[in-house]
Structure 1
Amino acid sequence: MSALYEQLHLPSSSFSSFSSFSSLPSSSSPAFAQDVLDGLAHRQRRIPCQWLYDHLGSLLFERITQQPEYYPARTEIAILEQVAGQVAEAAGPHATLIELGSGSARKTPIVLRALDRPAAYVPVDISETFLASTTRTIAAGFPRLKVVPCVADFTRLTSLPPELPAGRRVVFFPGSTIGNLDPAAAEALLTRIGRVVGAGALMVIGIDHTRDPARMVRAYDDAAGVTAAFNKNLLVRINRELRGDFDAEAFHHVARFDSEQRRIEMHLVSARTQRATVLGRAFDFAIGQSIHTENSYKPSPFQFLAMAHRAGWRQEQLWVEGAAGYAVHVLQSVSSPSSSSFSSL
C-alpha cells in the first residue's frame, strides 16, 4: 500500500480563479466523526462509503477504474463514445451539465464535446482538492465553457449554484455510483435530485446490471491491490482527522457477493485481536470481525426503472452492452414523483 501512496499523494490544489459553491462542512466535520463513532458502535460495524473519498481516496479510486478487472469504466466509456450524439440531441442546445461525484471527470469530455453549445458545467464532488484539479482540466479543454465547481456530498445536495444560466439541466451520473446506496436511499436521492433540477431535466446515468458474481468480485478485489489500498485509506483518514490509532496493516480487504441483496460488499476484516481508539473512544476487534465500508448494488434493468419511475423520472433512452451487462440510461424528470404501483421484481 505504501508504494501506491507515494505514487498518488499529490500536492493540494486550489480553485484559483474559479469561484466555487460549497454545501459541505470541513473535512473534520462533525458529520464524519458522528458517522464513524455511530457506525463502529453497531454489532456489524460500518462506515458510510462517502468517507472513502478524501483526496487520496479519490486518486486511488481513479486508479481502480484503470485496472483490467474493473469492467464498468471501460464499458461505460465505450457506450458513451457511441451514443453521445444521441444524448446531445435529447439535451438540446445551451444545456447545463451537472456531474454528480465528478472525480477526475474522465468521461465528461465525451459528453461535453457532443453537446450543442453547452451553457455551463457543474462538477459536484466531496473532495475539494480533487475537484480543483478536475475544474482546471475541464476549463483548459473547454475554454469558452462556464465551469462552476460545487463542493458537496451529492447524496445530501439540496441546491445548485445560484449563478447558473437558464436552460435545461442535464445530470450526468456515471460509474454506477448510485449502486453504492441501498434501494431506499437511491430512490430518495433520485427524488431529491429531480426536485433540485426541476421538471424536464434529463439524467444520463450508468448502471451495472451484471449477473456474473465472480466477475463482480474480481472488479472489487483487483490483483494489484489498488482497491485494498483504497479501502484501508479510510482507516488512515480516521487516524489523521479523528485522532485514531488504527493499524491499517492489521486489517485486510475483502470483497464478497451477497446473492440475496444482489450487491457486492466491501469489508475491512481484522487480522488479529486488537483495540483501536477514535476521538478517545475504544473499540475492540476480534479476529475476523469486520467493518462494512461499501456496497455496490446490481439491480436488473426493470428494478432500476421501477425505482426511477417512483422517484419521478421516466425513461427516454437505454443502451446496454450485452456481454458486460452494463447500461447507460437517459431519464427525464417529470413534475412530481409518481405514486404509481409500477413495481420492481
Structure 2
Amino acid sequence: MSTELLEDAIAGLSASPKTLSPKWLYDERGSELFEQITELPEYYLTRAETGILEVHAGKLVDLVPAGGALIELGSGASVKTRLLLDAATHLDAYVPVDISADFLHRTADDLRGRYPDLRIVPLVGDFSQPLDLPQPVMDHPKVGFFPGSTIGNLGPRAARALLRNARTWRNVQGFILGFDLVKNQRELVAAYDDARGVTARFIGNILVRLNRETGANFDPEAFSYEARWNAEATRIDMRLVSTRQQVVDLAGTRIAFEAGESIHVSASRKFTPDSLAALVGSAGWKLDRTLTDAGNRFAIAFLTPA
C-alpha cells in the first residue's frame, strides 16, 4: 500500500471542497494517457510549444554553458526535449526528473541509445518538493527546463515554491519555462475536454490508482468528468463529479459523496506576460526573454537569477 498516497487522499477527500493532488495522476497508465493527450487535435499546447522549440532550439540551448547540465522537471517521455538535445552538442549531462520510476527509466534507456555521448542521469522525484540533484552533476553549471505549461497546474504558492527551490540549485545559471497564454475560452475548454474522452480517462485514472494502491472501492463509472474555465483565477478547473449519492471506503475511512459533489483534481492556469513576470519575480528570478509561437497562443521564457 502506498502510505503517502493514502494519507494525501484521506486529507484531500475529507476536506471541503474535496480535492486530490494532480501529482497522483502520473502512475504508469496516467503517464501513457497524458502522452496520448499531447497528440490530440484539441490540445494545441504541445504543437505550439514544439513549434517554438523547433525554431529556437539552438538559441535556447546556447543559454546552457558548455559542459553544463540540463535539468528537466516532470520529464515524461522527453519527446520535446530531444529538440534541445539534438542541438546541444556542448552539454555534458541531461537529468530527467519524474515521479513515475518505471516510465522514467525506460525513457532514460531510450535516450542513452539516441545520445551515446551525453550523460543521462535520471532522478526519480517529486518536483513539487526540494530535490537532491544527482552527485555527478552537483557542481555543473545548470539550467532548469519545465515545459508543457506544467507551471500552470500548480497553485500560485506551489508554483512559487518550485521556482524558489530551483533557484537554490548549486551553480544554477537559468531556467527555461513553458507557459500557456490567456486566450479564447472555447479553445481553452476544448483543450481539456477532448471529443475522444482521453482527458476524462486521464483524470479518472486517479480513482483506479487509489483502488489498486490503497484498497479503496471507488466505482469510476459513478463519477463524470468536468472541465470549466475559471475567469477570476484565469485557469481551467478539472473535476470528477459524483453522479449519485454514495459512500466510498478508503482503507477504512468512509468518504461520503452527495449527488453532484465534485473532487477537484487538477487546474491549468493561463498567464499574461505581466502575471508571469510577477510570479517569477517573487521567486528570485527575472524574466530575461520570451518566445511565442506564430499564433501567439503559447510562450517559452528564459529566466535568470535575480
TM-score, normalisation: structure 1: 0.86
CA shift for structure 1 position 285: 1.2
Structure 1 letter corresponding to 2:61: A
* Rounded Cα–Cα distance in structure 1 between residues aligned with 2:28 and 2:274: 35
State the partner residue of 1:256. Answer: 228
State the partner residue of 2:270. Answer: 298
CA shift for structure 1 position 54: 0.5
* Rounded Cα–Cα distance in structure 1 between residues aligned with 2:258 and 2:271: 33
Structure 2 letter corresponding to 1:52: L
Q: Indicate yes or no: 2:283 matched with 1:311.
A: yes
Q: Indicate yes or no: 2:36 matched with 1:44.
A: no
Structure 2 letter corresponding to 1:276: V
Q: Indicate yes or no: 2:173 matched with 1:173.
A: no
Aligned in 2, Cα 1:99/1:176: closer, same or farther, shift over 3 Å?
same
Per-residue CA shift, 1:39-92, capped at 9, x if unaligned? 110121001100011110010001011100001111000000100111122223
1:240-279 to structure 2, matched below 5 A, reads 240-279=212-251
* Rounded Cα–Cα distance in structure 1 between residues aligned with 2:296 and 2:15: 36
SS in 1 for 2:135: coil
* Rounded Cα–Cα distance in structure 1 between residues aligned with 2:136 and 2:295: 43
Q: Indicate if the aligned counterparts of 1:119 and 1:165 stay in contact, CA closer than 8 A.
A: no
Task: Note the residue ranges of structure 1 that are not aligned, 5 or more in a row.
Answer: 1-27, 335-345
Per-residue CA shift, 1:93-123, capped at 9, x if unaligned? 2220111000010111100111242111110
SS in 2 for 1:163: helix
* Rounded Cα–Cα distance in structure 1 between residues aligned with 2:62 and 2:104: 28
* Rounded Cα–Cα distance in structure 2 between residues aligned with 1:316 and 1:97: 18
* Rounded Cα–Cα distance in structure 1 between residues aligned with 2:37 and 2:168: 32
State the partner residue of 1:224. Answer: 196
* Rounded Cα–Cα distance in structure 2 between residues aligned with 1:228 and 1:215: 17
* Rounded Cα–Cα distance in structure 1 between residues aligned with 2:50 and 2:130: 26
* Rounded Cα–Cα distance in structure 1 between residues aligned with 2:168 and 2:159: 14
TM-score, normalisation: structure 2: 0.97
CA shift for structure 1 position 187: 1.0
* Rounded Cα–Cα distance in structure 1 between residues aligned with 2:170 and 2:208: 36
CA shift for structure 1 position 166: 3.9
Task: Note the residue ranges of structure 2 that are not aligned, 5 or more in a row.
Answer: none
Structure 2 letter corresponding to 1:212: N
* Rounded Cα–Cα distance in structure 2 between residues aligned with 1:87 and 1:111: 8
Moved more, 268-277 or 163-172: 163-172
Q: Indicate yes or no: 2:162 matched with 1:189.
A: yes
* Rounded Cα–Cα distance in structure 1 between residues aligned with 2:15 and 2:267: 17
CA shift for structure 1 position 165: 6.4
Structure 2 letter corresponding to 1:291: I
Q: Indicate if the aligned counterparts of 1:228 and 1:253 stay in contact, CA closer than 8 A.
A: yes
CA shift for structure 1 position 322: 5.2
* Rounded Cα–Cα distance in structure 1 between residues aligned with 2:288 and 2:276: 14
Please, what is the CA RMSD of the aligned residues? 1.3
Per-residue CA shift, 1:9-44, capped at 9, x if unaligned? xxxxxxxxxxxxxxxxxxx44321111000110121
State the partner residue of 2:128. Answer: 155
SS in 2 for 1:223: coil
- Of 90, 100, 114, which residue of structure 2 is paired with 1:117? 90
Structure 2 letter corresponding to 1:121: Y
- Identical counterparts, % of pairs: 41
SS in 2 for 1:276: strand
- Of 269, 279, 293, which residue of structure 2 is paired with 1:321? 293
CA shift for structure 1 position 274: 1.4
SS in 2 for 1:90: coil
* Rounded Cα–Cα distance in structure 2 between residues aligned with 1:159 and 1:149: 12
* Rounded Cα–Cα distance in structure 2 between residues aligned with 1:310 and 1:41: 32
